[in-house]
Amino acid sequence: MHKKTEWEERYCLPFGNMSKLAKKPVIIKEGVSININGQDVTVTGLKGNLSFSVPAGIKAEVKDGQIIVSQVKKNDKESRALFGLTRSILFNLVKGVSEGFESKLELTGVGFRAQASGDTLTLSLGFSHPVIVKGEPGITFNVSENIITISGIDKMLVGNTAANVRALRPPEPYKGKGIKYVGEHIRRKVGKAAKAVAGAGVK
């Protein structure tokens, strides 16, 4: 039985028909070059380069300015499970080296602050000492007021970094203090004092 690897878990689409998606070629954007050596694919663009090893049973080739993904054996169940996923990863590699990816976090709380300097993020989160986050190679931080922007060419790395920063002070459910994704909805809980006031006039 096929077990998902880490990159499958990260890149797999949450919904939709992966087979239909895989049939769509990946358009190679201007300024991006593709080098395929056997199963190894290297994608180079203005923002850098990324590499990926295509799973056995899957073939990637460049034709007419596009990356075509196909199964070596159409009836192979193992490769079919990775067919759409491989196309999705290659699409993200092309986008990463040409446009890049970013994830935005929102800092909420009195006295909570963030400062960024390149690949280093310094956070004041109500602890006795500041928390310093050193980004992995390719990751940069930017802070504007209470918004932290994490940027990079590797989608998985940007997502992992954002998740790790958020985990330093997840938003608490009463006042929402902490770090959350921009646009993330936090389901609030009513505190005991608020419950007492709300129920005082009920007979």
Domain positions in the chain are 6-98, 101-180
pLDDT at 99: 97
Mean pLDDT of all residues belonging to the chain: 84
Q: CA-to-CA distance for 97 and 11, rounded, in angstroms?
A: 16
pLDDT at 10: 45
pLDDT at 1: 43
Give yes or no for residue 132 having a pLDDT over 70.
yes
76-85, 124-133, 156-165: least confidently modelled range: 76-85
What is the rounded (10 degree) CA torsion for 151, 156, 159, 165?
A: -90
Question: What is the DSSP secondary-structure string of 20-69?
Answer: HHHTSPEE--TT-EEEEETTEEEEEETTEEEEEEPPTTEEEEEETTEEEE
Q: What is the CATH number of domain 6-98?
A: 3.90.930.12
pLDDT at 5: 46
Sign of CA dihedral 90, 93, 99, 100: positive
Give the fold, CATH level 3, of 101-180: Outer Surface Protein A; domain 3 (3.90.930)
- One-letter amino acid identity for 125? L
Residue 198's pLDDT band, with cuts at 50, 70 and 90, is very low
Task: Classify residue 174 by its DSSP letter.
Answer: T
Determine the straight-line distance between the first and last CA of the chain, rounded to whole angstroms.
60
Question: Quick check: do 6-98 and 101-180 share a fold?
Answer: yes
